[in-house]
Amino acid sequence: MAQPSSEMTDPRLDTVERHGYLFGHPIAHSLSPLLHQTIYDGLGLPWSQFPLDSTDMDLFLRLREDPRFYGASITMPHKVTILPHLDTLTPEALAVGAVNTLFLRTSPTTGARLYCGTNTDVIGIRDAFYANVPSPAATFHHKPALVVGGGGAARSAVYALRTWLKATRVYLVNRDREEVRAVIAECTARGYGGELVDVASVAEAEALEGVGAIVACVPDFAPRTEAEVEARAVLETFLGKAHKGVVLEMCYHPAPWTEIAEIARGEGWGVVLGTEAMIYQGLEQDKYWTGLSVGEMPVQKVMEVIAGKLSEARL
């Protein structure tokens, strides 16, 4: 197996037995290396995940050939462009059409290294709800759900809500109707787009059944344009309905407590921070890389370390 050339060597690699990468751009704010280092230290593994802040796919493809490489977290802008460079995809990655985790397997016939892709973002969303909601059946099972946003995280949210949270339908709230149509078309083409509803106005929201689960997948900023103001008003209409469920606020940078989280709490909703989804998707990644179950990992220590890091950032 080819070794990386000398121009790609990193002195940090000599300090660990095995290594992975966080591959994306920009990634300076990412907590992924800290999360995984906490896990490896807790398990006594001489492993590390190193940031690779780059848009150079060829560089990454050469780096992954190192015999000590165990896998990678794949983030924007590479979650889709990595697909042609993988040998196989899990059902979650196929369904969402994006990969956030590269892991290795060995071909049973040739013994060659196989580069495999999965999407643990969907697991992070699922587990963030189930780990924080005492009564899923009463809160969100067999009720409509709602997704705010129209990007990749919104697609992952739709998949998780339809596949595991037992949502009867999913309302889509977004400032851009074209983005919503694209989400509906893609999810439908991939087999989980049934009962997706574009809710474009307050009048439409008022006529619809309340929801039990909301996933907010937009940055934390106050609405400014007419379309943004209308989208926020639509969300607030659902938050004001009689049934009070749980909001998963996926945004956690620069701070996990957002404007949407504050509005939701004021309306009597439960709020789950995006750091929860980030932690659970990271634990799922290490299941693929280490072969261990989440129950064997230092979950509580990870929670404490991430919370501490976020507290430092707010000081």
Q: Is residue 290 part of a domain?
A: no
The reply to whether 69 and 134 lie within a common domain is no
Average pLDDT of the chain to the nearest whole number: 93
The reply to whether 114 and 181 lie within a common domain is no
The reply to whether 39 and 73 lie within a common domain is yes
Residue 60 is part of a domain; what is its CATH number? 3.40.50.10860
Q: Is pLDDT of 3 > 60?
A: no
pLDDT tens, residue by residue, 16-52: 999 999 999 999 989 999 999 999 999 999 999 999 9
Per the structure, how many domains does the chain have? 2
Distance of alpha carbon 84 from alpha carbon 82, whole angstroms: 6
User: What pLDDT sits at residue 12?
Assistant: 77
The reply to whether 48 and 148 lie within a common domain is no
User: What pLDDT sits at residue 54?
Assistant: 96
Tell me if residue 301 is catalytic.
Answer: no
% of the chain residues with pLDDT over 70 = 96
The reply to whether 165 and 261 lie within a common domain is yes
**11 lies in which domain range?**
6-119
The reply to whether 105 and 218 lie within a common domain is no
Distance of alpha carbon 246 from alpha carbon 266, whole angstroms: 12
Q: Is pLDDT of 185 > 90?
A: yes
Q: Is pLDDT of 2 > 60?
A: no
User: What pLDDT sits at residue 22?
Assistant: 97
Distance of alpha carbon 43 from alpha carbon 128, whole angstroms: 23
End-to-end CA distance of the chain: 47
For 265, the token pair is 């709490």
% of the chain residues with pLDDT over 90 = 88
Q: What are phi and psi of 216, to 5 degrees?
A: -95, 120
The pTM (predicted TM-score) of the whole model is 0.92
Confidence of residue 151 (pLDDT cuts 50, 70, 90): confident
pLDDT tens, residue by residue, 55-78: 999 999 999 999 999 999 999 999
Q: Is residue 212 part of a domain?
A: yes
User: What pLDDT sits at residue 37?
Assistant: 98
The reply to whether 130 and 243 lie within a common domain is yes
User: What pLDDT sits at residue 152?
Assistant: 86
Q: Is residue 289 part of a domain?
A: no
Q: Is residue 222 part of a domain?
A: yes
Q: Which of 79, 241, 287, 301 is catalytic?
A: 79
Q: Is pLDDT of 120 > 70?
A: yes
What is the four-CA torsion angle of 195, 196, 197, 198, rounded to 10 degrees? -170
pLDDT tens, residue by residue, 89-112: 999 999 999 999 999 999 999 999
Element (H, E) at 290: helix 274-290
Q: Is residue 298 part of a domain?
A: no
User: What pLDDT sits at residue 310?
Assistant: 85
Q: Is pLDDT of 7 > 70?
A: no
For 32, the token pair is 């992924």
| 242 Ramachandran zone, left/alpha/beta (phi>0; psi -120 to 50) | alpha
Contact 122, 160 (CB under 8 A): yes
Confidence of residue 315 (pLDDT cuts 50, 70, 90): low
Residue ending a domain, choose from 78, 103, 119: 119
pLDDT tens, residue by residue, 246-304: 999 999 888 889 999 999 999 999 999 999 999 999 999 999 999 999 999 999 999 99
Q: Is pLDDT of 5 > 70?
A: no
- Three-state secondary structure of 147-166: EECCCHHHHHHHHHHHHCCC
Q: Is pLDDT of 217 > 60?
A: yes
Q: Which long-range contacts (CB under 8 A, 24 or more apart) does 11-17 make?
A: 12/48, 12/50, 13/50, 13/66, 13/68, 15/48, 16/46, 16/47, 16/48, 16/68, 17/45, 17/46, 17/47, 17/68
